[in-house]
Amino acid sequence: MTNLATSVGSIPLTSPIMNASGVWCMTNQQLVGIAESKAAAVMFKSMTLNPREGNERTRMYFNSILSVNSMGLPNKGAGYYCETVKQMHHFKKPMFASITGFCTTDFFSIFDLVNKAPFDAIEINLSCPNIEGRGIFAYDRDESMHILDKIRKKTKKTIGVKLPPYNQRSEIEVMAKSLVDVGIDFITLINSYPLGCFIDYETEQMAIRPNDGIGGLGGSVVKPIALSQIVLFRQHTKDKVSLIGVGGVEKGSDIYEYVLAGASAVQIGTALWREGPAIFGRLEHELNGILREKKVKTIREKIGALKMK
Ligand code: DHB
């Protein structure tokens, strides 16, 4: 049996496989479903200070290669998740909060609540593509660093940041170096590609309703984008920051590709939506099969082991 043990920051994980925020993690019941599955950790839905219903429906669409969503941050509010995590202690799995906000001060208010609750790690989501009236925080580096620096100084807990894709190497280099300077423990790459859509030519309609039918794009179509972000972020953060890969993980070989690129763990979004929490057992089985075939003893030795042509 191969050893799938890995870590994110100082948090040990029994395998590199966990859920992506936003999928199967909004309600108590769903979170328990992840905790009872083979997922190595439980990631919570991105929370706002107060509960939200989110956008009007249809707000999520998927097919065999992609997903488009404009959920609009439906969530039960920070208080609910801080109570829920207290009741999940017995699962003995790392619990990851995901926090977001509509303005800078929201992040600090939610962080103060979450920091007091028994979460093991906090993913700061600076990349929600569906916030009305404002752009993506992570495309404003000064504001992002202000948020992260202030939070870093408030806690010794493991903290990470979830980022959108960047289109230029120079942006990645500056962002990565700034995150190392701030002392971030992990970077999750990537949130859904911000401006995606699906047009059904038969009905002549967009697949989702909010925001002109345009929302975050996920699924296997974004995997090449996410992989390149992992490779480039790793060049500037090597061994100082853990990277978590997200985007189009549907089979064991996808996980192996992310690990070679430099990811210490992966998150499952679109495919979890499609398949439910049984997917974690399937992926672990497939990953074990690949490692056995390749005679790899530990997944750790393959993190960032990609060979260049
Ligand atoms: C939502 C979508 C995201 O990609 C995200 O990071 C947070 C929230 C949403 O629309 O609910």
pLDDT at 181 over 90: yes
Output the residue whose Cα is nearest ligand 1's atom 8: 73
Q: Tell me, in angstroms, the distance from the centre of ligand 1 to residue 74's CA.
A: 9
Parallel/antiparallel/unpaired status of strands 186-189 and 158-163: parallel
Q: Tell me, in angstroms, the distance from the centre of ligand 1 to residue 71's CA.
A: 6
Q: What is the pTM of this model?
A: 0.98
Q: Which atom of ligand 1 is nearest to the CA of 74?
A: 11
Q: Quick one: what percent of the chain has pLDDT higher than 70?
A: 100
Whether 82 is a known active-site residue: answer: no
pLDDT at 59 over 90: yes
Q: Which atom of ligand 1 is nearest to the CA of 216?
A: 4
| C-beta of 23 in contact with ligand 1 (< 6 A) | no
Strands (DSSP E) along 15-110, which ranges?
Answer: 17-19, 42-43, 60-62, 67-69, 95-99
- 2 pLDDT band (50/70/90 cuts)? confident
Give CA–CA dist 247/222, Å, rounded: 6
Token pair 């190595």: residue:
40
Residue 102 to residues 107, 134, 136, 181, 216, Cα–Cα distance (Å): 8, 8, 10, 25, 17
Residue 188, strand partner residues: 162, 244
Question: 148-175: per-residue pLDDT in tens?
Answer: 999 999 999 999 999 999 999 999 999 9
| C-beta of 160 in contact with ligand 1 (< 6 A) | no
Give the torsion through C-alpha atoms of 173, 194, 264, 114, to 10 deg.
100
Mean pLDDT of the chain: 97
Parallel/antiparallel/unpaired status of strands 193-196 and 215-218: antiparallel
2 and 291 in contact (C-beta within 8 Å)? yes
Question: 80-94: per-residue pLDDT in tens?
Answer: 999 999 999 999 999
179 and 232 in contact (C-beta within 8 Å)? no
Q: Tell me, in angstroms, the distance from the centre of ligand 1 to residue 125's CA.
A: 9
Q: Of the listed 25, 82, 128, 197, which one is catalytic?
A: 128
| C-beta of 158 in contact with ligand 1 (< 6 A) | no
Q: Tell me, in angstroms, the distance from the centre of ligand 1 to residue 86's CA.
A: 24
